[in-house]
Structure 1
Amino acid sequence: MGQLDGRVAVVTGAGGGLGREHALLLAAEGAGVVVNDLSNAKAVAEEIVAAGGEAVAVEGSVADMAVGERLVAAAVESFGDLHVVVNNAGVVRDAMVWNMTEEQFDLVLDVHLKGAFSVIRAAARYWREQSKNGATADRSIINTTSSAGLHGNVGQWNYSAAKAGLAIQVVNAAIELGRYGVRANAIAPMARTAMLAGNPGFSAAVAAPQGEGVLDRYHPKNVSPLVGYLAGADCPFSGQVFSVTGGHVGLYGGWSLGHRIDADRQWSVKELAAELGADSFPKAIETARQRLIPVEGVTP
């Protein structure tokens, strides 16, 4: 018996890397899986079936709204329902902001942010209709954000913006869709993927370790158990963002006021200059910066 017996999941960007590992684990835990990617989705679905699991493939870009509809339809037609959406599809087009083209900006936001919207909207419409008809069940959305979207990163103006959007999407989803039994969470993984392999600043830091018995901390498969947990019907979390890598799971505290000044009147510019320039605010800012601790020496 698996932890996800009877559950049905859609996994985007599942032709390789993190998405493939998520699809394999969800299927191994008993879920029926709709595997999506531009290519290789059929191969992953066949791999799951060969291992005794249940899977179908739907190829295409989730930036196309029609593909989001097709993924939900495939889940319902193939397995009778849909419980879990894992938005993992992504692409990078790194450049400094003064060199970034409109095409580079649009592509990254289309795949990450619009792609997640495409699938979530289609799923939300289905879940809302099911709920109105009295068919209640636990539903789960899992978005893939990034430390770049939560802390920022040089040369990733488009990617950071898209990933930040994916984090706030789950907060909105938890608020809007909770009445229909939908939970929504995001993960910020650190793993050895094709995206990081092409980045000289990251590739060495996440390289596979040498020697037997050493934890391969950045292998993509280490991220998938958290996805499996968040996909489960007994998971209590919603509206949350988690960091995850091999041996590590962390829960973000979200945006919160670190310091404040209040008055019962309008502040003047001169007064704000004096108050905000005082020792209290710079110290609060430094404290906040110290909380942004890199994972294993990798700059967020």
Structure 2
Amino acid sequence: MPDSDPPKLAVIVIGHRAPARIVEAVTSLLGQNTPLEIVVVNSGGGEARALLAAAGLEVPVIEVSRTLFVGAARNVGIAATQAPFVGFLADDCLACPGWAETRLRRHLAGDRAVASAIVNSHPRNLIACAAHLVTFMRRLPGLPADQALRYGVSFDRRLFDEYGLFDEMIPIAEDTEFLKRLPQVLQPVWEPGVRTVHRNETRLLGLLADQYVRGYRRGDYLAASTRNTPFRFFRDTFRDRRQVRKLAKVGLSGPDLTFAMRSMPVVWLALLVKSVGVYAGARNRGKANWRQKNDH
């Protein structure tokens, strides 16, 4: 591609409080073999621009002093870029080699939304293996399309003109909410050749704390959007223990699968803690709704 040709893929790096790891996230994009329009959107304070400049990385940075939910950060980045296709990368993730090229190949072939797989940052650490399976068991790279969840999506920019931008007011699942607006024919295609590294917890206490927080947020979201009891949400979440081993055997292979199997006792413990978090988040949301009703 000639240097004068503008990039066809914009990537918005979403940062919160300018963590040091954002340098590696941006570096992984600059190392792609495809020209990219990269914009960093950092909210909640910190000096992402100075941090990146100190590492010798010169990319556009938008600093927002208040904390933005991810949907709002996505929208800021969409407005600040021009490339016909738009992808996103969280500050705790890295783009694997071929991440951009494979996305673009699918988009240029006509796919308007392209979903990606997640790989483990520490595949020989049992705690990280457990963290990875609990959080991303349905985005393992070896899964067939009918078993994979379609997230980590890049989009044809025109979809935002046709179906609106991301919801800026919800703390999680802004991508789920957006995808629900798309007709079936425009749902993301599964492309496991696009792989993102997620930095997983490597310490047991860190894993359990992270899963509780994730569970709490999910419980709050479920209680706000679905009519069910907190115990039902707990039960449905913990039921994943029946699927995780099967999904790992399909989605992983070789040493990665061996270590994943060894991590199963930790997986069950983490799922239990996550389920307790789901229950607490749903229960507290229910209490808040009850108080609000009775206050009027």
Give the TM bin, normalised by the shorter chain.
0.3 to 0.5
- Highest Rg: 1 or 2? 1
Normalising by structure 1, what TM-score? Answer: 0.35
Task: Kindly indicate which of the two structures has a greater share of residues assigned to helix.
Answer: 2
